[in-house]
A and B are shown apart, each in its own frame.
Chain A
Amino acid sequence: DIQMTQSPSLLSASVGDRVTLNCKASQNINKNLNWYQQKLGEAPKLLIYYTNNLQTGIPSRFSGSGSGTDYTLTISSLQPEDVATYFCFQYNSGPTFGAGTKLELK
């Protein structure tokens, strides 16, 4: 099975900060990676699909990049409504999620 390692597990940042979340796969996943935002009591919300494609309706401050085993979600200017847990998800084979990064305001 492909393991997905997210870092950091907890991130504290201020409004307006540029924030970077990381996801590392145990093997090449060929950019078959999505990023989700999840707020308490809600279903995951797709932000980025196939590594770097912004889902319809998602603010442009969110962006994704990466290849091979290393992937990144960037929030260019953190907003209060971005406080949530973020999960990466690989669907290259035997789909698996990362353990999540909890993003909080400093």
Chain B
Amino acid sequence: QVQLKESGPGLVQPSQTLSLTCTVSGFSLTSNSVHWVRQPPGKGLEWMGGIWGDGSTDYNSALKSRLSISRDTSKSQVFLKMNSLQTDDTAIYFCTVVPFDYWGQGVMVTVSS
């Protein structure tokens, strides 16, 4: 069955780079698109960006200058890297597969010194 699971550091220092991994199973990354969505504590959801089956990427214009999404199809993993983190990047980060029906459980990332 389709599964996604996010992993990464729970704490990142301000100005540093966040690196997250989404490990998927039950589908192929070459035929499907995986996206990242985040949710600050107590707030709404924000689409960050995604990587398509052909390897092309789309990014939220507000994050584009700081964000990079890539993948390793052999390991069924999608990666998120975002630099210059600030406290307002504190959030739960989710990965989801198009048509946005299956989601990981999310990983909480706190930006703090």
Residues of chain A touching chain B, judged by Cβ–Cβ distance below 8 Å, are 1, 34, 42-44, 46, 49, 55, 87, 89, 91, 94-100
Number of contacting residues on B, CB 8 A?
Answer: 18
A46 to B99, CA, bound (A): 10
- Is there contact, CB below 8 Å, between B45 and A55? no
Interface of B is mostly: loop
Query: Contacting A46 at CB < 8 Å: which of B35, B58, B100?
Result: B100
Residues of chain B touching chain A, judged by Cβ–Cβ distance below 8 Å, are 35, 37, 44-47, 58, 60-61, 94, 98-101, 103-106
A43-B103 contact, Cβ under 8 Å, with A1-B61, A94-B60, A94-B61: yes
A78 to B81, CA, bound (A): 41
- Is there contact, CB below 8 Å, between B61 and A43? no
A26 to B47, CA, bound (A): 17
- Is there contact, CB below 8 Å, between A95 and B106? no
Q: What are the 8 A-B residue pairs with the smallest beta carbon separation, nearest first?
A: A43-B103, A95-B47, A97-B45, A46-B101, A99-B44, A100-B44, A43-B106, A43-B105
